[in-house]
Structure 1
């Protein structure tokens, strides 16, 4: 499945964005800024169910692959040439992969990025269209979307910098989802039903 995303001129340069994001992180702790597809995005503080989904996923992944960690809200340089800056809800990678990399890490060690929808008006554009293309452009093997709006999980795989992810496998909450290689982890999503609020 390919989602068409129209490119508009960037709102600012990456350097201008990083200056703004650094100020925001220091002065306003309840929001984080992203810069994907030349567009400024605001990530606000999440509710408890959002965090419960992240904790559930971290636990399942660590049980299956003990050497990995789910790094929450880690800033990544994304898109084909690293022109974007994203704050995924989680980045699954070997433990310690991002130590010492500063506010915006290189995504080379990332095995999977994770987004958990937050019932906000920008979810469709951000989590279902822009982010998959940006993560594929950065060469991240997998993108997992836990969509609390539609009650589906979707794992995107086979990244192509020009097209985005070429494969998408979707499972309704309650079904069994297999995260393909390089992970090979099977998730029973029954527990996600209680975190849809």
Structure 2
């Protein structure tokens, strides 16, 4: 017997319709559907944008065949989840003809940069690592501005990431294969409160 709390709030198709309507009418709202529940992501602040710009430059210089996309992804096939990572690293052209919510096949890494809001703990540190691991995304990079740490999740087993590395801003971070990029995280110290 399925508990009521285990049932999703809506079907994935209903979420897609709602997300499309919100995109046309509500500024500053980035809806997501993780673990069967509707959520919204705050609009990124300026420092958040600078972190993504910093990461994009490193990725392009290190692996020019890849691109850091702002792409909604279908995650958690079991629950029909939909996530909008802050960055999605994949080979150039991966998401052609897929629309707003693409399949995660071909994704090498997803990136989240924490926002200063009350949902960060649940969303970025608990729900998204699980959703991305269940989807089989090889690397989840969390740039945690609250703790001034970079958290690298890798080796998804279909339920969770088996390897989690936590390093303070300022350390050199080696993103594991299939990403294979090295990050000097010293500049991240400039973009935290």
TM norm structure 2: 0.94
For 1:25-104, list aligned pairs within 5 A. 25-72=23-70, 74-81=71-78, 83-104=80-101
Counterpart in the other structure of 1:170: 166
Greater length-normalized contact order (CA 8 Å, ≥ 6 residues apart): 1
**Runs of 5+ unmatched residues, structure 1:** 1-6
**Residue of 111, 128, 136 corresponding to 2:133:** 136
Counterpart in the other structure of 1:146: 143
Deviation at 1:79, TM superposition (A): 1.1
Deviation at 1:82, TM superposition (A): 6.5
Do structure 1's residue 16 and structure 2's residue 14 form an aligned pair? yes
C-alpha contact 2:42 2:115 (8 A) present in aligned 1:
no
Partners in 2 of 1:22 and 1:185 — Cα distance?
A: 34
The Cα offsets for residues 148-170 of structure 1, whole Å up to 9 and x where unpaired, read as 001000110000112x1110011
Partners in 1 of 2:47 and 2:177 — Cα distance?
A: 28
Partner SS state of residue 32, structure 1: strand
TM norm structure 1: 0.93
Deviation at 1:183, TM superposition (A): 1.4
Counterpart in the other structure of 1:4: none
**Runs of 5+ unmatched residues, structure 2:** none
Counterpart in the other structure of 1:183: 179
Deviation at 1:29, TM superposition (A): 3.1
Partners in 2 of 1:86 and 1:57 — Cα distance?
A: 20
Partners in 1 of 2:10 and 2:103 — Cα distance?
A: 21
C-alpha contact 2:138 2:178 (8 A) present in aligned 1:
yes
Counterpart in the other structure of 1:3: none
C-alpha contact 1:14 1:84 (8 A) present in aligned 2:
yes
Partners in 2 of 1:196 and 1:181 — Cα distance?
A: 28
Counterpart in the other structure of 1:114: 111
Deviation at 1:44, TM superposition (A): 2.2
Partner SS state of residue 53, structure 1: helix
How many pairs align? Answer: 189
Counterpart in the other structure of 1:158: 155
